Amino acid sequence: MGYFRRDIKTWSKKNSSPVTEADFLVDEFLKQTLLAARPQYGWLSEETTDDLARLNKQTIFVVDPIDGTRGFIRGDDGWSISLAIVKDGEAIAGVIYAPARDELYEAIKNGGAKLNSAPLLKPDKNKERPVIAAAEAVFKKLKNAGIKFECGPHMPSLAHRLVQVSTGKLDIAIGRRGAQDWDIAAATIILEECGIALEDACLGGPKFNREETRHGALAAMLDNSLRAVVNDALIDVYGCLENNADKKA
């Protein structure tokens, strides 16, 4: 938070996405702290050069030091820190913290989910029209399919956006094709412990700690009645990762 809404150093990565000195600072702090506590675990982070030795580890940490860096740079308060523990390809524990909002989401497999220490349970669907957070191209496909909905607010952090389905602020949250393990692993277990699935439109539930860390277009839904039409829209807009490796994520 000492770097938030201040003049800080920034760089552009090879994929043109931004990174700041705060990203590197948080990454190094978490790496040193967590691996000191669990030296037998592997490590996968957006801001650490990938070491494929992690593939030989049964359990790894999966970290995004700042998810929503563009928002962080702009001064938006919707960025977060996303941390998961993955065992045998499955997220078994996760924490998403939005420091500027003081929102701490956490979950452990078969142990439930919490928001700021209070139990986080699957909300009831009580809105006439679902609130959906997605790209404009997806909105257009859904409108053409005859779906009536409200457009959700822009949220720079994908992890934070996804878990808003568990709070009821969103009915459907979309992640475009190309999200990485560190973007979604923590959200996956938090949603799962609320009885909400996060699924790839082409492949179903995500698997983690593979050589390829990217995923296809994803959706978390409070009500599964729209799953088929949403998945069709995502496939129309983004395609499937295996068949569209040359298409920009």
pLDDT tens, position by position, 69-85: 999 999 999 999 999 99
Tell me the three state secondary structure of residue 220: strand
Q: What is the four-CA torsion angle of 76, 16, 90, 35, rounded to 10 degrees?
A: -80
Residue range 36-52: mean pLDDT, rounded = 97
- Per-residue pLDDT tens for 171-191? 999 999 999 999 999 999 999
Residue at which a domain ends, from 120, 151, 179: 120
Q: Name the domain count of the chain.
A: 2
Prediction pTM value: 0.94
Is 213 in the same domain as 155? yes
Contacts 24+ apart (CB under 8 A), 23-30: 23/47, 23/65, 23/66, 23/69, 24/65, 25/65, 26/65, 26/66, 26/81, 27/63, 27/65, 30/61, 30/63, 30/65, 30/83
Q: What CATH number has the domain bearing residue 212?
A: 3.40.190.80
Domain encompassing residue 87: 10-120
Last residue of a domain, one of 120, 141, 157: 120
Segments of 99-197 assigned E as strands: 103-108, 113-115, 118-120, 131-133, 150-151, 172-175
Would 126 be classed as within a structural domain? no
Please say if the pLDDT value at position 104 is more than 60: yes
* Residue 199, strand partner residues: 219
Specify whether 65 is located in the same domain as 148: no
Is pLDDT at 90 greater than 80 in this prediction?
A: yes
